[in-house]
A and B are shown apart, each in its own frame.
Chain A
Amino acid sequence: MTALIELEGVSKRFTRKLDIAEKIVNVFGGHIREQTVHAVDNVSLAIDEGEVVGLVGESGCGKSTLGRVIAGIHPASEGTVKFKGRDITAMSSGESKEWALQVQMIFQDPMSSLNPRLRVRDIVGEAPAFHGLVTSEELGAYVDEMMLRVGLDPSFGRRFPHQFSGGQRQRIGIARALAVRPAFLVCDEAIAALDVSIQAQVINLFMRLRKELGLTYLFISHDLGVVEHLSERVVIMYLGRVVEVAGTEELFAKPNHPYTVALLGEVPRIDRRGQAFMPIKGEIPSPLNPPSGCHFHPRCPHAMERCRVEQPALREIAPGRYSACHLNDQS
């Protein structure tokens, strides 16, 4: 079965080019270099239809960038992204449009993810009208249906985003994405900015929509508890690279990669009392200047000489389980 989304060796780099002033300085002997951030570094991943994949990592790991590459907001610097088996850069314009609408994104910030000058019904109804998915007579009823589906009263369609709470704005964003009938949703920290009790409501909404509409999700989050609850498979990223992939239960029961072990150990859990926090030492390195070899080696309790020199490959250590660590080679 072809996966819905397939990434092969995808990398995304952001380069800040030198401007005129800096080029002139270099001519006179300055050594200003271009700065490149390897936001995403050689990631390969396949997501099947109907799956919920969790993508976890801390700042600088590239999860948001990866989400945007998949959603088509940033083009990949290297590698191929395939939608239903077809390379997105090699699509005809009809297929391209289909792909653009089928993959939608839910954003983190409920404040800035909605155009403050448009009424809610225009925010939700704009894209379907633009693409001709519904006729103008049907548009009103269609927008109402979308709003009901996400749990909002359709009569509030006349109002502006600033009149709603954060949780409601997030629902409006979801309605906007659903209005173009997507198959795949990238949720980029979609609940991080919400209050705890509202988070539960939105998580339940995601689960309900998945059942009702048969959606596939890539759920990007730093909150391991939520990821554990929602996902079937979890991908862990660190500084642009994938370090571990496994089924949710296996990952949480027996994490393999030292970073995953540390991450799971650090997370405060409500049933752990008088927790003696045992932190991993060191700071998260800057993506502008990542460590050589394995990015995690400066903070890893099991680091060896080899880790400093050679980047570990993402290897399948058990059916469906992948990990990028030299320690796995020892057996």
Chain B
Amino acid sequence: MTAATDFKEVDAAVAEAPMVVKDQTPFRRFLSDFAESKVAVAGFFTFLIIVFIAILAPWISPTNPYDLATVDILDSRLEPGEKMMTGTVAWLGTDGLGRDMVSAMFYGLRISLGVGAVSGLIALCIGVCVGLASAYFGGRVDTIIMRIVDLQLSFPAILIALVLLATLGKGVDKIIIALIVVQWAYYARTVRGSALVERNKEYIEAATCLGLSHNRIVFRHLLPNVMPPLIVVGTVQVAHAIALEATLSFLGIGLPTTEPSLGLLISNGFEYMMSGKYWISIYPGVALLVTIVSINLVGDRLRDVLNPRLAR
């Protein structure tokens, strides 16, 4: 290299290079950060297993516990490990009506997760629309919506669900509606908080300056940047929904007996707790516990990973 006489000559030669950061989408960066916690990864895989069980329940269950043709009252209250009339081993015992616990739990997980996920998803969509509208338009719209949200959130979830189910009656769809009504407000408030922060950022002002439409600004600029906290809330809320549904079923006002969730199974087994037939309640209880804990572990890790990134 020969020496240049001043800086102007170097200018052309020096290329402007981005910083030494791997060419990664924000998503891949997020995945590698998430994976740093072994506990969270374990929780995630546990949850994945549970989801697979739930989806594949009809195919992987040893028996179909709701096929009245195969259920035999003579099988009832068998201890874990005993054989049933049909010859299959009841690894976790049978319940009061002769249903194999393992199968009942698989189907129960299916219902519990299904109800939790569907209600969570719909509540999320409603909450996001309401929260975004509230933050973007501000003023009176914001005040009215937030007062409704506050009102809703000041009632205990159980109370609202009880009242709703008393009026609507039993059924999977009724439970889902009740869970949606209970959850949407929480999403709305979270989204609004996040959106208010993002809305004041300069890239939103820039989008306004560039003449983009309201729709585009809200859905293409605001929403993707509001999503991270929402994902955290979402996972925890799904866990809450599952727990709430189990509670309602346990109390007998939730799902009907034809579609029992884990809560109902626990409830069914409750009467046998004192007579030493623990397995009818305990195993569904453990399944519920493991589900909720794994979801919470994932949610916790998400919160840790997504928060410092906001400050990065």
Residues of A with Cβ closer than 8 Å to B? 19-20, 68, 71-73, 97, 100-101, 103-105, 107-109, 112-117, 126-127, 130-131, 151-153, 156, 158-160, 162-165, 168, 173, 176, 180
A201 to chain B, nearest CB (A): 9
Contact of A113 among B17, B206, B213 (CB under 8 A): B206
Contact across chains for B205 and A107 when beta carbons are under 8 A apart: yes
What per-residue 1/0 map shows which CB atoms of B106-124 lie under 8 Å from chain A? 0000000000000000000
B220 to chain A, nearest CB (A): 8
Contact across chains for A162 and B211 when beta carbons are under 8 A apart: no
B207 to chain A, nearest CB (A): 8
The docked-state distance in angstroms from the alpha carbon of A72 to that of B143 is: 26
Asked whether B151 is an interface residue with its Cβ less than 8 Å from the other chain, the reply is no
B218-234 residues at the A interface, CB under 8 angstroms: 220-221, 224-225
Contact across chains for B21 and A163 when beta carbons are under 8 A apart: yes
Closest to B25 in A: A160
Contact across chains for A127 and B202 when beta carbons are under 8 A apart: no
Decide: A131 near B211, CB < 8 A? Known: A73-B205, A112-B203, A116-B26.
yes
Contact across chains for B26 and A180 when beta carbons are under 8 A apart: no
Decide: A115 near B203, CB < 8 A? Known: A164-B19, A168-B18.
yes
The docked-state distance in angstroms from the alpha carbon of A97 to that of B209 is: 11
Residues from chain B with Cβ under 8 Å of A112 in the complex:
201-203
Closest to A186 in B: B209
Q: 18 A-B Cβ contacts within 8 A? A: A68-B205, A72-B209, A73-B209, A100-B211, A101-B210, A104-B209, A104-B210, A107-B202, A108-B202, A112-B202, A113-B206, A117-B225, A151-B16, A153-B17, A156-B18, A159-B18, A162-B21, A162-B26
Contact across chains for A115 and B225 when beta carbons are under 8 A apart: yes
Closest to A204 in B: B11
Residues of B with Cβ closer than 8 Å to A? 15-19, 21, 23, 25-26, 143, 201-203, 205-213, 216, 220-221, 224-225, 312
A81 to chain B, nearest CB (A): 14
Residues from chain B with Cβ under 8 Å of A19 in the complex:
143
Ranked nearest first, the 10 interchain pairs of A and B with the lowest CB-CB distance are A113-B202, A127-B210, A100-B211, A107-B202, A112-B201, A117-B224, A115-B203, A163-B21, A112-B202, A163-B18
B156 to chain A, nearest CB (A): 24
With A115-B225, A130-B210, A165-B19 given, can you name 10 additional A-B contacts, CB distance below 8 Å? A72-B209, A97-B211, A104-B209, A105-B209, A107-B206, A115-B221, A116-B26, A153-B17, A162-B312, A163-B21
A202 to chain B, nearest CB (A): 12
A270 to chain B, nearest CB (A): 18
Contact across chains for A105 and B26 when beta carbons are under 8 A apart: no
Contact across chains for A117 and B23 when beta carbons are under 8 A apart: no
Contact across chains for A105 and B224 when beta carbons are under 8 A apart: no
The docked-state distance in angstroms from the alpha carbon of A131 to that of B221 is: 17
Contact across chains for A73 and B19 when beta carbons are under 8 A apart: no
Residues from chain A with Cβ under 8 Å of B206 in the complex:
105, 107, 113, 173, 176
The docked-state distance in angstroms from the alpha carbon of A160 to that of B27 is: 11
The docked-state distance in angstroms from the alpha carbon of A19 to that of B150 is: 15
Contact across chains for A164 and B18 when beta carbons are under 8 A apart: yes
B113 to chain A, nearest CB (A): 30
B33 to chain A, nearest CB (A): 13
The docked-state distance in angstroms from the alpha carbon of A213 to that of B201 is: 29
Residues from chain B with Cβ under 8 Å of A153 in the complex:
15-17
Residues from chain B with Cβ under 8 Å of A104 in the complex:
209-210
Residues from chain A with Cβ under 8 Å of B19 in the complex:
163-165
Residues from chain A with Cβ under 8 Å of B21 in the complex:
162-163
A83 to chain B, nearest CB (A): 14
Residues from chain B with Cβ under 8 Å of A73 in the complex:
205, 208-209
B10 to chain A, nearest CB (A): 12
